[in-house]
């Protein structure tokens, strides 16, 4: 297996690279100015204008402004056609113009990570029962993750096995490890296109499985202790990994290489999440939540819980939620260093009066809906209202056992929970009546987002 390559990031090097790119663009533009229409025959010019053979060469000769203009026209044409198909009324020009403008605003908001839909009210008072139970793990399920197609599901267990599931047929395939049993797998992540599955556990390695090639693509070394959590940047193959060694490492799976290490946490890292921007949110036993701005090489530190924060999820680029061992579910905003709201003892208390730990949270991206799990026999759905400053419970879903992982489908039609007899990070308590399984909870017949 080929070792991971290393890419060093340095400000001076990046600056020089930028200067070289700028120089090459200037050179290309200068060369473009030297090429006049007389350098091409009439046949060649016609072929370029027609977009036939040689159209790629024509695009190569474009200036940056011409490329932007061409792509903008193509995008506008695509949006217009999609709106017309939806409305099926080409004569309503004024209405179509408004619809196109609305669609453009939505796309801009999504690109900036500010798109936000109010969907939680649709689930108020709804009786939601388990629709599908997937069994195969011998020990507690520690993590579940869905690909962007909402059909491919990955799950990991304490026995060290990772399964790839087809939710439509209910079939599974073991993709890791090759031997009968491996070391405990604490976390996994699936790229949005479903090509890569990242796996991390007690062996301190980040394993990458290529779904299309059906083989292990690489095993990255670098962490000095167990890997606890993983997250892909949405729409890319950029991977973040968190570890007991208190560091976050960034990997580029297109090049199968290491990028850089983020330092700051004073204790083990328990959870990590990322969306579109080149940044991530992490939580750990040092009771902090940190937003890492990779390109700016800076971090924001948030505090508010009295015990270890074990899990985190992002609603959008500005709002996120967390769950702690103090039993609280909290909402956060990038504009405040304290939680905007904390629901104390969100999942009740045990027989000794101690709050049940929050073992998992999930957020339906770009919406006001989040979910939390513990060991009280319920997965709770919450509505985040008033700019993420209020938290209202909207539904309870019966799930017996430790809910170690939660994952919404991209459309919001269903919620997947990874359940075990033990907590994913330890063996402090065991629930013998629970089943080590993955449960699918239907939320809506229609797309929520």
Name the token pair of 173: 């395939």
- pLDDT, residue 217, reads 95
- pLDDT, residue 86, reads 59
Nearest-angstrom CA–CA distance, 379 and 347: 9
Residue 302's contacts (CB-CB under 8 Å, 6 or more residues apart) are 288, 289, 290, 291, 332, 336, 337, 338, 339
Nearest-angstrom CA–CA distance, 25 and 306: 53
Q: In what order do the strands lie in the sheet with 341-343?
A: 309-314, 319-324, 329-333, 341-343
More confident residue, 201 or 52: 201
More confident residue, 91 or 12: 91
Residue 353's contacts (CB-CB under 8 Å, 6 or more residues apart) are none
Separate counts of helices (H) and strands (E) for the chain: 5, 29
pLDDT at 48 over 70: no
The phi and psi torsions of 121 (rounded to 5 degrees) equal -65, -25
Q: H helices within 193-240, ranges in order? A: none
Nearest-angstrom CA–CA distance, 177 and 101: 50
pLDDT at 12 over 50: no
Got the DSSP string for 128-158?
----EEE---SS-EEEEEE-TTSSEEEEEET
The structure tokens 């204008």 sit at 49
pLDDT at 85 over 90: no
CB burial readout 162-187, b (16+ within 10 A) else e: bbbbebeeeebeebbbeeeebebbbb
Share of the chain above pLDDT 90, in %: 67
More confident residue, 415 or 70: 415
Average pLDDT estimate for 409-424 = 96
- pLDDT, residue 105, reads 73
pLDDT at 379 over 80: yes
Q: Distance between terminal CA atoms of the chain?
A: 41
pLDDT at 200 over 90: yes
| Lowest-pLDDT range of 17-26, 223-232, 235-244 | 17-26
pLDDT at 125 over 60: yes
More confident residue, 96 or 314: 314
Helix (H, G, I), strand (E, B) or coil at 184: coil
Name which of 239, 244, 304, 296 is nearest 268 in CA terms. Answer: 244
Opening angle at CA 203, ends 199 and 209, nearest 5: 25
Delimiting residues of CATH 2.130.10.10 domain(s) in the chain: 120-442
> For residue 33, how many C-alpha atoms fall within 13 Å in the half-sphere facing its CB?
5
The structure tokens 């693509």 sit at 217
CB distance 292 to 320 below 8 Å: no
pLDDT at 351 over 80: yes
- pLDDT, residue 63, reads 83
Average pLDDT estimate for 355-380 = 96
Confidence of residue 149 (pLDDT cuts 50, 70, 90): very high
Q: What is the 3 state secondary structure string of 17-55?
A: HHHHHHHHHHHHHHHHHHCCHHHCCHHHHHHHHHCCCCH
Mean pLDDT taken over the chain = 85
Averaging pLDDT over each range in 57-61, 109-113, 202-206, which range is the top one?
Answer: 202-206
- pLDDT, residue 227, reads 96
Residue 242's contacts (CB-CB under 8 Å, 6 or more residues apart) are 227, 228, 229, 230, 248, 269, 270, 271, 272, 282, 284
pLDDT at 414 over 60: yes
Q: What is the 3 state secondary structure string of 154-165?
A: EEEECCCCEEEE
| Lowest-pLDDT range of 13-22, 89-98, 386-395 | 13-22
Average pLDDT estimate for 80-103 = 64
What is the CATH architecture of 120-442?
Answer: 7 Propeller (2.130)
Count CB-CB contacts under 10 A for residue 399: 23
Q: How far is CA 127 from CA 7, 394, 426, 439, in A?
A: 51, 11, 33, 16
| Lowest-pLDDT range of 177-186, 229-238, 253-262 | 177-186
Share of the chain above pLDDT 70, in %: 80
Average pLDDT estimate for 208-220 = 95
Nearest-angstrom CA–CA distance, 404 and 311: 10
pLDDT at 37 over 50: no
More confident residue, 12 or 183: 183
Nearest-angstrom CA–CA distance, 405 and 398: 15
């Amino acid at each position: 297996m080929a070792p991971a390559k290393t890419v060093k990031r340095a400000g001076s090097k990046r600056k020089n690279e930028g200067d070289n790119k700028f120089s090459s663009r200037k050179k290309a533009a200068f060369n473009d100015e030297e090429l006049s229409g007389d350098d091409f025959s009439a046949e060649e010019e016609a072929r370029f204008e027609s977009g036939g053979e040689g159209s790629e060469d024509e695009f190569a000769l474009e200036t940056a402004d011409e490329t932007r203009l061409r792509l903008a026209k193509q995008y506008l044409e695509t949006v217009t056609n999609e709106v017309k198909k939806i409305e099926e009324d080409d004569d309503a020009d004024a209405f179509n113009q408004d619809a196109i403008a609305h669609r453009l605003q939505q796309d801009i908001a999504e690109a900036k990570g500010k798109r936000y839909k109010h969907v939680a009210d649709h689930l108020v008072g709804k009786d939601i029962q388990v629709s599908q139970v997937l069994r195969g793990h011998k020990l507690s399920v520690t993590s579940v993750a869905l690909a962007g197609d909402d059909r491919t599901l990955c799950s990991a267990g304490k026995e060290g096995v990772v399964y790839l599931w087809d939710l439509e047929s209910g079939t599974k395939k073991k993709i890791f490890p090759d031997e009968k049993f491996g070391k405990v797998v604490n976390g996994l992540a699936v790229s949005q296109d479903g090509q890569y599955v990242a796996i991390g556990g007690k062996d301190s390695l980040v394993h990458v499985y290529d779904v299309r090639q059906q083989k292990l693509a690489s095993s990255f070394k670098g962490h000095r202790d167990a890997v606890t959590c993983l997250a892909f940047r949405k729409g890319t193959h950029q991977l973040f990994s968190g570890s007991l060694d208190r560091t976050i490492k960034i990997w580029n799976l297109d090049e199968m290489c290491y990028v850089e290490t983020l330092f700051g946490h004073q204790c083990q890292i328990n959870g990590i999440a990322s969306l579109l921007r080149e940044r991530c949110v992490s939580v750990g036993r040092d009771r902090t939540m940190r937003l890492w701005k990779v390109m700016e090489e800076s971090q924001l530190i948030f505090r508010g819980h009295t015990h270890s924060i074990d899990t985190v999820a992002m609603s959008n680029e500005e709002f996120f939620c967390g769950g702690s061992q103090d039993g609280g579910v909290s909402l956060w905003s990038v504009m405040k260093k304290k939680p905007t709201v904390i629901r104390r003892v969100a999942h009740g208390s045990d027989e000794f009066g101690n709050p049940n730990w929050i073992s998992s949270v999930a957020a339906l991206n770009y919406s006001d809906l989040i979910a939390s799990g513990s060991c009280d026999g319920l997965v709770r759905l919450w509505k985040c209202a008033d700019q993420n400053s209020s938290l209202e419970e909207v539904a309870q879903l019966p799930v017996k056992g430790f809910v170690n992982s939660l994952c919404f489908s991209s459309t919001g039609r269903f919620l997947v929970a990874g359940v075990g007899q033990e907590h994913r990070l330890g063996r402090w308590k065991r629930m013998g009546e629970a089943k080590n399984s993955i449960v699918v909870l239907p939320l809506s017949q229609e797309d929520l987002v």
